[in-house]
């Protein structure tokens, strides 16, 4: 006779409902994504531009004349964040395309939604995954870069009139991460295949950017930026960091408005797609 039987027994202690219910969803999805070695390599490669910028700051502080070729000022942070957009694109494709699509394919959506979770909890949990990944290649290195710049060149950056850099980095990273994450999730919810969702996401983002390029070549008007998510993010960075990008030079509220509309549209898509029961009218 066994001295201990490992079996099912009734469990009387029922915990009260958690306030933050989305966190286990975020944590488990992140664990699965980060278990892929290729993804870790991708995150590492995404740090290379950061290292290049650190070297740039270091070189300019040691050899000030190099600043004429590689200027080190507030614009550097805006340019860095825009460079990181490419990595956000890749991370969203490889890390985010399957987040909802896989759940729809394997029926796991029912595992979530038959629990004491709302659809909002589910979306927040999945959004958290992409937000954390995207912020890890924008906000974290951006802020770290600023701190390094403050440490290496305090006489250049430790000034009141440059105090906007920190908040601008936070705002730009947050907007970039949020919009890209929402678009990635919305596209993921439209398919049951992670591959199709990944291709779809790339087609939407890259396709609109190509269309913007064509329209800009034809009309030479910065308003063309408003048809592309990438160009709108660029326009926002141009306004926030004072970049000299004539092609997307617009008052900040134009791209901000467009990005808000995109985010709202994505939320509506998610609202209609994230359901335990699919109703075909």
Partner 1 sequence: MDEAPLVEFKDLVVSYGAVPALAGVSGAIFPGPTGLLGPNGAGKTTLLKTLLGFLEPDRGTLTAFGLDPTKQSLEVRRRIGYMPEVDCHLPGMTAAAFVAFAGELSGLPRDEAISRAHEVLYYVGLGEARYRTVDTYSTGMKQRAKLAQALVHDPDLLLLDEPTNGLDPSGREEMLALIRGISERRQMSLILCSHLLRDVEQVCENVLVFNLGRVAAAGRIADLTGPRRAVYDVRVKGDPAAFLTDLKDQGCEWREGEDGYRVFLGDGAGPELIFRMARESGVQVRFLRPGAETLEDVFLRALGHETQA
Interface ranges with partner 1 (CB under 8 A): 6-12, 14-18, 21, 24-25, 28, 32, 35, 98, 102-103, 106-118, 275-277, 279-281
How far is residue 165's CA from residue 128's CA, in Å, rounded to a whole number? 25
Report the 10 Å Cβ neighbour count for 250: 22
Q: Which residues contact 26 (CB under 8 A, 6 or more apart)?
A: 125, 126, 128, 129, 132
* Least Cβ distance, residue 126 to partner 1 (angstroms): 12
Q: Which is nearer to partner 1, 4 or 160 (CB)?
A: 4
Q: Which residues contact 51 (CB under 8 A, 6 or more apart)?
A: none
Q: Which is nearer to partner 1, 54 or 196 (CB)?
A: 196
Q: Which is nearer to partner 1, 27 or 75 (CB)?
A: 27
Contact 84, 53 (CB under 8 A): no
* Least Cβ distance, residue 109 to partner 1 (angstroms): 8
Q: Which is nearer to partner 1, 74 or 125 (CB)?
A: 125
* Least Cβ distance, residue 107 to partner 1 (angstroms): 4
Q: How far is CA 257 from the centre of its chain?
A: 18
* Least Cβ distance, residue 280 to partner 1 (angstroms): 7
Buried residues in 173-202 as b, exposed as e (16+ CB within 10 A) = bebbbbbbbbbbbbbbbbbebbeebbebbb
Q: Which is nearer to partner 1, 16 or 244 (CB)?
A: 16
* Least Cβ distance, residue 37 to partner 1 (angstroms): 13
* Least Cβ distance, residue 115 to partner 1 (angstroms): 4
Q: Which is nearer to partner 1, 194 or 233 (CB)?
A: 194
Q: Which is nearer to partner 1, 118 or 272 (CB)?
A: 118
* Least Cβ distance, residue 121 to partner 1 (angstroms): 9
* Least Cβ distance, residue 15 to partner 1 (angstroms): 5
Q: Which is nearer to partner 1, 161 or 278 (CB)?
A: 278
* Listed residue (215, 214, 212) closest to 234, CA to CA: 212
């Amino acid at each position: 006779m066994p001295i201990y039987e490992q079996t099912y027994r009734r469990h009387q202690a029922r915990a009260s409902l958690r306030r933050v219910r989305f966190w286990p969803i975020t944590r488990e999805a992140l664990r699965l994504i980060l278990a892929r070695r290729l993804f870790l390599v991708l995150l590492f490669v995404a740090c290379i531009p950061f290292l290049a910028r650190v070297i740039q700051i270091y070189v300019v502080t040691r050899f000030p004349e190099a600043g004429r070729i590689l200027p080190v000022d507030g614009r550097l942070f805006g340019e860095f964040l825009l460079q990181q957009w490419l990595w956000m694109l890749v991370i969203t494709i490889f890390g985010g395309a399957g987040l909802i699509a896989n759940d729809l394919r394997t029926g796991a959506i029912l595992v979530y939604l038959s629990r004491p979770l709302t659809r909002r909890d589910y979306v927040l949990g999945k959004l958290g995954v992409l937000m954390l990944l995207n912020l890890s290649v924008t906000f974290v290195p951006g802020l770290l870069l600023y701190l390094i710049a403050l440490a290496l060149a305090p006489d250049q950056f430790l000034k009141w009139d440059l105090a906007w850099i920190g908040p601008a980095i936070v705002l730009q990273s947050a907007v970039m991460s949020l919009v890209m994450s929402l678009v990635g999730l919305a596209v993921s919810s439209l398919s049951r295949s992670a591959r199709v969702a990944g291709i779809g996401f790339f087609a939407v983002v890259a396709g609109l950017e190509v269309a913007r390029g064509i329209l800009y070549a034809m009309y030479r008007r910065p308003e063309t930026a408003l048809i592309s998510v990438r160009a709108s993010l660029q326009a926002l960075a141009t306004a926030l960091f004072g970049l000299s990008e004539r092609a997307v030079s617009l008052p900040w509220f134009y791209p901000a408005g467009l990005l808000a509309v995109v985010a709202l549209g994505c939320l509506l898509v998610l609202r209609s797609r994230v359901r335990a029961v699919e109703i075909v009218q």
